[in-house]
Amino acid sequence: MSTSPTTSQAKAAAESRWPESASLFDRATRFLPGGNTRSQLYVAPHPLYVERGEGARITLVDGQVLDDFLLNYTAAAVGYGNPHVRKAVERALATGAPFGMPTRWEIELAEALEERVPALKRVRFTNSGSEATLHAIRTARAYSGRTLVAKAEGAYHGSHDLTDFSVYTIADEPLGIVPGTRGIPAALADQIVLFPFNDLDRTIAVLEGRKDDLATVILEPFLNSAGAIRADGEYLQGIERWCRENEILLTLDEVASFRVSYSGAHSDAGITPDLICLGKSIGGGFAVGAFGGSEEVMAILDPRDSRHIKHAGTFNGHPATMAAGRAALEVLDRDAIDRMNRLGGRIVEGIRAIGADHDLPLTAAGYGSIGNIHLGRTPPRNAREALDLPKQPVVDLYWALIERGYVIAPRGQFSTCAVTTDDQVDGLIEALADCAPSALKDVDDR
């Protein structure tokens, strides 16, 4: 594989600045394809390795301490090493778990979720958000007797083949369906109905044409992977109304968005989905997913019924994960969520102000405690607009911020957590104001 001079220079600089990370990456490539087991964590010339984390800070293996606004892609909503979560996990692990029999821990987390989310009358646990959406779709298909799944262009609903279409790559033609990666059979595209995000009239027109075969419409309250692009309330309400009128199940993917509101982002829009998918923040830092909804729909998972659909998983309801999740929900009370959202909003407004003050094509989109940098004059309203914006300069900002002691995602995502401070937010905004003018001086103005 050939290496350009620019890439060679960047690699040499990174090896000099972070030699231990460079050494670990070289070692990793001998055993792991591309040196990793999670594709999004690769960033050229090599990723930086973490030694430990505490609160809202991480320490790299090379000794550098960073104020962390990446927070494991929003999953570390309570921060790192939260003492309340840690004590709960230690109690669960002291039992010798996990077992091949149920424990009380999953009941307690289920009760906590159902008290918090009125639409969750019954819930099942999985080990990831991807598993949650997979099983929710299977449940919707079994309940409805139909097979088609409608999703928004640019929406990410997990890494499985059922929905990984038209996420990071979008077809030139309107609503053309593109597999998210090689290895997904093209024939599966026939099971997907794609509709435009934040365009209610066009969405309803698309859904109307396929309603006789639709098992479910699956929605994100914001396009997380496209850059924290929030759905209009009227858009969500209009789709819910159409689903009710046509007896189509509405599935809300709140794997990422649940943390922005005490009862989930769907409560902000005043809608009640038939199925809800959860993950990330409800695990207290552990691998977790959940799906649930109305008692009627979820009843088809009841093994006491001979016609039930199967849902397996050796580590579903792992006591340590359930205990961590229960403790995390206690940390993420209304006050904590309001504070996290306020700090996230400060970052979004700070980025927009930097763009305006320096006349830069720099803005941000956000929903509560989650946001994303975009290199344009106005925030995008859908995935097509977001994907049309430059991306490499955001990676340059990522490295420039690390040099100054702050970390966001290489694609520009950032979030706050329960222990993020105003001083940390001030520092991030100041660091961006310092590095953005030089990092973005050659960006095409869109």
* Amino acid sitting at position 298: M
Same domain (yes/no): 191, 252 = yes
pLDDT for position 441: 86
Q: Is residue 298 part of a domain?
A: yes
DSSP state of 309: P
Regarding whether 340 and 322 lie in a shared domain, the answer is: no
Exposure b/e, 272-301, CB count within 10 A at least 16 = b: bbbbbbbbbbbbbbbbbbbbbbbeebbeeb
200 and 261 in a single domain? The answer is: yes
Q: How many domains does the chain have?
A: 2
Beta strand pairing status for 370-374 and 363-367? Answer: antiparallel
184 & 116 share domain: yes
Domain boundary among 273, 303, 331: 331
Locate all alpha helices (DSSP H) within 232-318, ordered by sequence: 233-246, 265-269, 295-298
**Distance of alpha carbon 80 from its chain centroid, rounded?**
18
Q: Are residues 350 and 324 in the same domain?
A: no
For residue 332, pLDDT over 80 is answered with yes
The band of 442, judged by pLDDT with boundaries at 50, 70 and 90, is: confident
Residue range 217-246: mean pLDDT, rounded: 97
Tell me which residue range forms the domain holding 153.
Answer: 83-331
In a domain, 4, yes or no: no
| Structural domain contains residue 6 | no
Asked if residue 148 lies in contact with residue 254, where contact means CB atoms within 8 angstroms, the answer is no
- Res. 9 pLDDT band, cuts 50 70 90: low
Tokens standing for residue 350: 């700070």
Let me know how long the chain is.
Answer: 446
In a domain, 23, yes or no: no
For residues 359 and 413, membership in a common domain is answered with yes
Contacts of 25 (CB under 8 A, 6+ apart): 35, 46, 47, 49
Q: Could you tell me if 174 and 276 lie in one domain? A: yes
**Model confidence, pTM:** 0.94
Q: Is residue 90 part of a domain?
A: yes
Residue 74 in tokens: 């929003």
Is 379 inside a domain boundary? yes
Please indicate, yes or no, whether residues 321 and 349 belong to a single structural domain of this protein: no
340 domain residue, yes or no: yes
- Domain containing residue 102: CATH number: 3.40.640.10
Based on the fold, state whether residues 121 and 195 are members of the same structural domain. Answer: yes
CATH number of the domain that residue 427 is part of: 3.90.1150.10
pLDDT tier, 175 (very low <50, low <70, confident <90, very high otherwise): confident
pLDDT band, very low/low/confident/very high, at 174 (cuts 50, 70, 90): confident
Please tell me which residue, 9 or 227, carries the higher pLDDT value.
227
User: Which of 298, 331, 364 is a domain's end point?
Assistant: 331
Paired strand residues for 219: 252
As a whole number of angstroms, the distance between CA 199 and CA 378 comes to 18
Residues 252 and 350 in one domain: no
DSSP 148-203: EEEEETT----SSTTT-BSSSS--SSTT---BSSTTS-GGGGGGEEEE-TT-HHHH
CA distance from start to end of the chain: 33
For residue 89, give Cα distances in angstroms to 51, 126, 320, 324.
21, 18, 5, 6
Q: Confidence band (pLDDT; 50, 70, 90) for 186?
A: confident
Final residue of a structural domain among 311, 331, 351: 331
